Structure formats: structure tokens, C-alpha cells
Structure 1
Amino acid sequence: MTESYYDLLGSCLKSKEKAKEAIFYSYTSHINGFAATLEDDEVDQLSNRPEVVSVFPNEVNQLHTTRSWEFLGLERNGQIPADSIWLKARFGEDVIIGNLDTGNLTCV
């Protein structure tokens, strides 16, 4: 998949080598896409390609919690409380989580 990212971005940057330098992360779980350092005109060129679904700028977000399990009420001090959703949900037993990958390329 990474090779197709180099081809796509390389066609905008006029060089596959420049594309390899620009791409600093490839998304391979749940979505297909990449993160790259680009100039505004390069973003415009990429955004206008018919095979590109969307392009998003990097954003700085505030961290809301570093203790998600406790924040969600799943654990307290490393212990699972009697009213935890983990127990109510039987720790996810018989739960199927699916991800539908349409094969569309998303540049993030």
C-alpha cells in the first residue's frame, strides 16, 4: 500500500523521492492513508485528484484523560468494580467488531 502512496504523492510533487521524504506515517489499521509534510500548493494539487477522498490538516488537540479505563468507569485503582460495564458486557464475550474496508484511498 505504501508504494501506491508514493506513486500518488509523487505525481503531485513530480518526484517519487520527494514523496518518500514527505510521507512520515502510513495508516494501515482501519483506514488507508498517509500523513505527509506538504506546502499549500501541494495540498491543493493532491486534494484535486479524483482518487483522493479527503485531505485534513494536522491539528493539535487537548488531551482529556490519561486514565481512560478509570475515566470510563471500567476500573478503579487497577481493580474492576462490581458496577463496571466490563462485567455487564461479560468482557466483550460473543461480541464481533467489524471494519469494512472499501479499498478507497484516504489521504490524511
Structure 2
Amino acid sequence: MDSNVIPKAFQSPHHWHLASLSSISQSQSPASKLIYSYSNVLDGFCASLTDSELESMKASPGFLHSIHNSPVKYDTTHSTKFLGLTVVSSPAWESSNYGEGMIIRVVDTGTWPESDSYGDHGMGPAPTR
């Protein structure tokens, strides 16, 4: 969303996001479609929309871009061994309360995977499937 076009009537970007959803939503509770409002690094929101609602949103003032959420598959070979999590009775599992209450966020920094920082020098071969 382009924060330069936010009407002054809204107290915050979050209120603008809710109003935008209300204007295009076909459901009784458009607020339930809003998953999260972003306003620190970028202005925008995450919402669960139908295809027709997305098309309506694209015609809304301030709309810049949308990204379709797609499933991501587990893609690691050595992390569990490196972190000492190969055995369920590992002290790391116990001290973390088995991950209960954990919040995990992924920040895509656009790093270059071919960088030496990501090298696997000294690591054994990837496990077989």
C-alpha cells in the first residue's frame, strides 16, 4: 500500500487497511480477513482474500503490489544435527520446552546463497533420503 495516499481521516495504517478490506470484502466480517498490518519498514498488510477480492483490491487507491502466499517445503539437510536436535531427549529440546510458545519469523535479506559465508566446507555429505 502506498502510504502517500492514506486519507487523513485514518488514525493509523492499520485502520486504513481495515477500511480497504471492508470496501472489497464479500464477507460479513472483513476484519477477520486481516492477518497482520505492517507499518514500520513498509506499509501494507497480510490478508486472506478470494480471487475476486484481490482483483477489487488491485483497483483500490494506494494498491502497489500483492504476493500470493505459497507453501514452503522443509529444505535443510544438516541443521538438526548441527543444533544437536537429533535425539528427542537432547538437553536443547528440554531447555527449550520442546519449542512450546516459540515465535519464528523469517527475514529475507536478499543474501547471496553462493557467498562463502554459506559454504559447507568441512561438512559431510547430505544425508540420503
Q: TM-score, normalised by structure 2?
A: 0.44
1:72 aligns with 2:113: no
Report the equivalent of 1:98: none
Report the equivalent of 1:36: 47
The alignment partner of 2:66 has SS state of coil
Structure 1, unaligned stretches of length 5 or more? 74-108
Residue 63 to residue 43, structure 1, CA distance change in 2 (3 Å): same
- How far apart in 2 are the matches of 1:30 and 1:40? 27
Report the equivalent of 1:52: 63
Aligned mate of 1:23, from 34, 49, 54? 34
Q: Aligned partner of 1:24: which letter?
A: I
Q: TM-score, normalised by structure 1?
A: 0.51
- RCO comparison, higher one (Cα < 8 Å, 6+): 1
Deviation at 1:48, TM superposition (A): 1.6
Residue 30 to residue 18, structure 1, CA distance change in 2 (3 Å): same
CA RMSD of aligned residues (A): 2.8
Alignment length, in residue pairs?
69
Structure 2, unaligned stretches of length 5 or more? 1-12, 84-115, 119-129
The ranges of structure 1 where at least 4 consecutive aligned residues each deviate by more than 6 angstroms after the TM superposition are none
Aligned mate of 2:15, from 3, 27, 35? 3
Percent of counterpart pairs with the same letter?
Answer: 22
- How far apart in 2 are the matches of 1:5 and 1:20? 9
